[in-house]
Amino acid sequence: MQTNIIKYKRMINGQMQYEFFQLEVFNILYRELGFTSIKINGRNKLLERVPEGYKFVSIHILKDSFREYLENDFDLSTLPEEVNHVDLFNMFFKEKPITRSYANAFFHSKDKLNPNDYQIKGEFLVLK
């Protein structure tokens, strides 16, 4: 079965054009890698699920985690024949499919974490 993470099409000149499908990238970040966000005092905070509850993270952690996922856990056999792993990484670094604005919109559509249910303990967000 082919992956949904990449969209591609053949151009008029015969070359292939590739791009990441952001929705699938964020589904992986959410479902498989455990990232989400919460709005606290009017500011969006990115979170990673950890045994203690949630850990505050930067957008760079999402990017690094997804890159590691591509390197170690992504099934390369699901790539279209026209795409190899080098193309995949080149696309990732060129396109930068993980953005803060998309992260905020996506995670808020998935999780409705109520800040009143949590308290901040250092770098963690834990249930009260």
Is 86 among the domain residues?
yes
For tokens 């959410």, what's the residue? 30
Least confident among 68-72, 78-82, 98-102, 114-118: 78-82
Burial class (CB in 10 A: 0-12, 13-18, 19+), 103: buried
DSSP state string for 1-59: ---SSEEEEE-TTS-EEEEE-HHHHHHIIIIIT-EEEEEETTEEEEEEEETTEEEEE-H
Range of the domain at 30: 6-127
20, part of any domain: yes
Instruction: Answer whether residue 33 is part of any domain.
Output: yes
Domain count, the chain: 1
Q: Render pLDDT for 35-71 as a digit per residue (tens, 0 to 9).
A: 999 999 999 999 999 999 999 999 999 999 999 999 9
On whether residue 109 sits in a domain, the answer given is: yes
Alpha carbon distance 96, 56 (integer Å): 21
In a domain, 80, yes or no: yes
> Tell me, what's the pLDDT at 90?
85
CA atoms in the 13 A half-sphere facing the CB of 38: 21
Over residues 72-82, the pLDDT tens digits come to: 999 988 887 87
- Structural domain includes residue 1: no
Task: Please check whether residue 91 is in contact with residue 20, taking contact to mean a CB–CB distance below 8 angstroms.
Answer: yes
Q: Residues 98-127: what's their mean pLDDT?
A: 93
In this predicted structure, what is the pLDDT of residue 3? 79
**Beta-carbon neighbour count of residue 47 at 10 Å?**
22
Buried-state track 27-46, b at ≥16 Cβ within 10 A, e below 16:
ebbbeebebbbbeeeeebbb
Task: Establish if 79 belongs to a structural domain.
Answer: yes
pLDDT at site 1: 64
Please report whether residue 84 resides in a domain: yes
- pLDDT score for 7: 81
